[in-house]
Amino acid sequence: MITPYLPFPLVSGGQIRTYNLLKNLKDQHDITLISFIREDSEKEYIPELKKFCRGIYTFKKLKPFSPTNILKAGFTSYPALMTMYLSNQVQETISSILKKEKFDLIHAETFYVMSNIPEITIPRLLVEQTIEYKVYQSFVSSIKFWPLKKLLAIDVKKIKKWEKHYWRVADKVVTMSEADKETMHNEIPKLNIDVVPNGVDTEKFFRIVKEMSPKKTVLFVGNFKWIQNKEAVIFLRDKVWPLIKEKCPQANLWIVGKNPSSEILQMQSDNVQVEEIDDIKLAFAASDVLLAPMLSGGGTRYKILEAMASGTPVVSTSLGVEGLNVAHEKHAFIGETPEELAELTAKILKDKNYGDKVVNNAKKIIEEKYNWRRIAAKLNDIYNSFNRKEVDINRFHS
């Protein structure tokens, strides 16, 4: 398994997903893990992953704005998203491991690590946690400074070209949602795709005991290194929160997440708190509602799933819950405009029964469809569907 991050600690959605899959697949498979790290200090987490993997190899990725990465992205056909992970050392290590041991399958998390896989006859499974080119297209469309917009648009075209290339190269592609599967089939009709959604640690989140205070708390959760969360929290600040305050003057906004930018930190005020916390369960336990006004699709949607599992009502856009099989006023509350999102949130804050009516249904659908045991079992079936056979290496050049 090749991942663009070390799957521990559980900071990002991708880390949560990979860690829980490794944990639930270890008894059926011998797994060798190859991961990229940002700092050498991350190696302290390797012992935790050795519980699930027979071998672990780590390599440092390039920083996105390092001179080396800028030059590689500027003077090659690869986008910056790929050049950060493109490494001769990684390629040589993978080739060496494959020569020494027999492997039945290579599992790549994200298309942009696949350039390190040599031309081999072992089946390749590509897992796309989001369709990257769509995320970056959305980001670029919001940029007003046209020289930067034009420059980044070129990089987005590169992302789309290589992302589609590796969809074709893979023997099977796995997506998180039916919506992403449909997008891929629109691009490449005969693509071999399965859907394996994200999950929740139900043992952990079902045990949360709500500790509500008289202060009404609206929660926003997100890792702010991801574009989707940055644009959502700015939209919340500028368009939605003022309307909520008009309806519920005593309400407080709690913004919880890793890597907040200076702009996000400046949102702090008498009724807005911005912080990182070590245990997200504490945030869900003390909040009346999760507000996720997402403007872009894709991503892992852990904030939605974990809120539902914790018994916290969810207010989101249709893009925020895309692919999760949730219905408005049955499992969550869905609005599109600032006015709709503010009205739904205020109604939950004012009327506890209104929010409570979706909580039981939300927990039920989590247990039926989104617990990690079921998710890992589905991925295990996909693994076992591969026979050890030679595949056409010419697809690398198609």
Q: What is the mean pLDDT of residues 328-357?
A: 95
Residue linked to tokens 């409570």 = 356
Does 308 have pLDDT greater than 90?
A: yes
Q: Are 167 and 184 spatial neighbours (Cβ–Cβ below 8 Å)?
A: yes
Q: What is the mean pLDDT of residues 367-385?
A: 92
Residue linked to tokens 């799957």 = 7
Does 326 have pLDDT greater than 60?
A: yes
pLDDT at 12: 82
Lowest mean pLDDT among 1-5, 54-58, 204-208: 204-208
Q: 2 phi and psi, to 5 degrees?
A: -115, 125
Of residues 166, 125, 136, the one with CA closest to residue 64: 136
Does 8 have pLDDT greater than 50?
A: yes
Compare 324 and 383 and report the one with higher pLDDT: 383
Compare 328 and 394 and report the one with higher pLDDT: 328
Cis peptide before 9 (omega within 30 of 0): yes
Token digits of residue 65: 């704005």
Q: Predicted confidence band at 398 (pLDDT cuts at 50, 70, 90)? A: very low
How far apart are alpha carbons 60 and 62 in whole angstroms? 7
Q: Are 285 and 310 spatial neighbours (Cβ–Cβ below 8 Å)?
A: yes
How far apart are alpha carbons 312 and 115 in whole angstroms? 41
Q: What is the mean pLDDT of residues 91-113?
A: 95
pLDDT at 357: 85
Residue-wise pLDDT for 109-163, tens only, equals: 999 999 999 988 899 999 998 899 988 888 888 888 888 899 899 999 999 999 9
Residue-wise pLDDT for 192-221, tens only, equals: 999 998 889 888 899 999 887 778 999 999
Does 318 have pLDDT greater than 50?
A: yes
How far apart are alpha carbons 276 and 260 in whole angstroms? 8
pTM for the complete prediction? 0.82
| Average of per-residue pLDDT values in the chain | 91
Residues in the chain: 398
Instruction: Decide: residue 137, CB within 10 A, 0-12 exposed, 13-18 middle, 19+ buried.
Output: middle
pLDDT at 324: 85
Percent residues over pLDDT 70 in the chain? 96
How far apart are alpha carbons 263 and 241 in whole angstroms? 16
Q: Predicted confidence band at 304 (pLDDT cuts at 50, 70, 90)? A: very high
pLDDT at 348: 96
Does 296 have pLDDT greater than 90?
A: no
Q: In angstroms, what CA-CA distances link 371 with 203, 248, 332?
A: 9, 35, 18
Percent residues over pLDDT 90 in the chain? 72
Q: Predicted confidence band at 395 (pLDDT cuts at 50, 70, 90)? A: low
Of residues 224, 223, 170, 179, the one with CA closest to residue 197: 179
Q: Predicted confidence band at 389 (pLDDT cuts at 50, 70, 90)? A: low
pLDDT at 227: 82
What are the residues whose beta carbons fall under 8 Å from the beta carbon of 222, sequence distance 6 or more? 228, 229, 232, 233, 257, 303
Q: Predicted confidence band at 393 (pLDDT cuts at 50, 70, 90)? A: low
Does 397 have pLDDT greater than 80?
A: no
